[in-house]
Amino acid sequence: MPMSEHDGVRVTPYLVAFGALLALTVATVAVSWLALPATPAMLLGLTIATVKASLVAVAFMHITSARATVFLTLALTATFCAALFGLILWTEADHVLGTEFTNPFESQGGTQ
Amino acid sequence: MDLPYTTEIRPDTGLTSPTLGIWLFLASEVMLFGSLFASYVLLRVGASTWPDQSSVLSVPLATLNTVILIASSVTMVLAWASLKKRSLPAFRLYMGLTLLAGALFLVVKAFEYGDKFSHGLVPATNNFLGLYFTLTGLHAVHVLAGMVVNAYLWLPGARMWRSDPARFTHRVEIAGVYWHFVDLVWIFIFPVLYLL
């Protein structure tokens, strides 16, 4: 693309994004001071991190002006990443739900 | 031989080749860091006890590093914007600041590692520290790699500005996408390892 089409780059949005990222960083640290239970603290912390990451992607990486090829690549990556985390949480589901291993042979009176 | 589609859009992908290349590379990077984050989830969820992370690690130093890395993303994008405004001196200033911020990040990280080692806290101490050193160490290597590319563009690579300004500007944009990704990874490392 000829450079003249981009000559009017505005820096204000970058500075606004910078301010928002700093404010969200303070919010991230503040959440850790609230001493919330583990699950809400984790959800809140990761939500703020996701908002910050989206800000970086939109404001600095110009993701909104990306073409379909980029979105397809990212969608495929996100699918594999979700599968990776999903399978791990599924594997560990017993620990998450607090269920315990029981000996399947106990009810048959056997000693295994 | 001239490489095709360095600044022109490829009709089939709708992107320049460097743009497609960097996004494919970043997709592989997402899976690399994703697998380490997944390992963290697996080990933490499966552990009967887990250390209080914020008392083991230094939250003030990590917060400082977060601010440094966010600021470096701003200076990086301002370096690219300077080239769009056809100002090489402004580019040199902002790229220099980006390099400085990257170096500061690594210095702070080195202090943090030194403090851990002096207290006998090493990757073999427990699973949490193993993950901490692996994730932050890999991230630091990425910061270093970005600095090498940025340093090249700052000094010898800037010669291209005279012969082919559009291509040089595009190179800086691609390097910027990588640098912002490194910032983005830290945005997740910070709460996951230091605060939660």
Residue B123 lies in a domain: yes
Tell me the C-alpha distance between B100 and B166, whole Å: 26
Give the global pTM: 0.89
Any domain includes B126: yes
> Residues 21..60 of B with a Cβ closer than 8 Å to A: which?
23-24, 27, 30-31, 34-35, 37-38, 41-42, 45-46, 54, 59
DSSP helix, strand, coil percent of chain B (3-state; round to 5): 80, 0, 20
Q: How far is Cα B124 from Cα B107, in angstroms, rounded to an integer?
A: 23
**Could you report the predicted ipTM of this complex, rounded to two decimals?**
0.91
Count of the separate structural domains present in chain B? 1
The residue-averaged pLDDT of A49-60 equals 94
Domain of residue B93, residue span: 17-195
Report residues of chain B scoring pLDDT below 70: 1
Range A27-38 average pLDDT: 86
- Candidates B49, B28, B53, B15; CA nearest to B136 is B53
Question: What DSSP state is assigned to residue A3?
Answer: G
Q: What is the token pair recorded at A63?
A: 């993701």
Residue B107 lies in a domain: yes
- Euclidean distance between CA atoms B97 and B93, whole angstroms: 6
More confident residue, B49 or A49: A49
Q: Which amino acid is at B81?
A: A
Cβ-defined contact of A77 to B196 (cutoff 8 Å)? no
User: Over chain A, what is the mean pLDDT?
Assistant: 81
- Nearest-Cα distance to chain A for B116, in Å, is 21
With beta carbons under 8 A apart, name residues in chain A contacting B70: 18, 21-22, 25
pLDDT at residue number A112 = 43
Under the banding of pLDDT at 50, 70 and 90, the label for residue A3 is very low
Does residue B2 fall inside a structural domain?
no
Q: In this structure, is residue B8 part of a structural domain?
A: no
Q: How confident is the model at residue B149, as a pLDDT? A: 98
Does any domain span residue B138?
Answer: yes
Q: Is B9 inside any structural domain?
A: no
> How far is it, in rounded angstroms, from Cα A42 to Cα A47?
8
- Per CB-CB distance under 8 Å, the chain B contacts of A55 are none
B13 to chain A: closest CA residue: A69
User: CATH number for the domain including B166?
Assistant: 1.20.120.80
Q: Are A14 and B81 in contact (CB < 8 Å)?
A: yes
Residue A1 has pLDDT above 50, yes or no: no
The reply to whether B3 falls in a domain is no
Buried b (16+ CB within 10 A) or exposed e, B123-147: eebbbbbbbbbebbeebbebbeebb
**Least CB-CB distance to A92: which of B24, B46, B59?**
B46
| pLDDT at res. B121 | 94
CA angle B189, B21, A10 (to 5 degrees): 70
Among B41, B77, B181, beta carbon nearest to A14: B77
Phi, psi of B108 (to 5 degrees): -60, -40
Of A11, A60, A95, the CB nearest to B73: A60
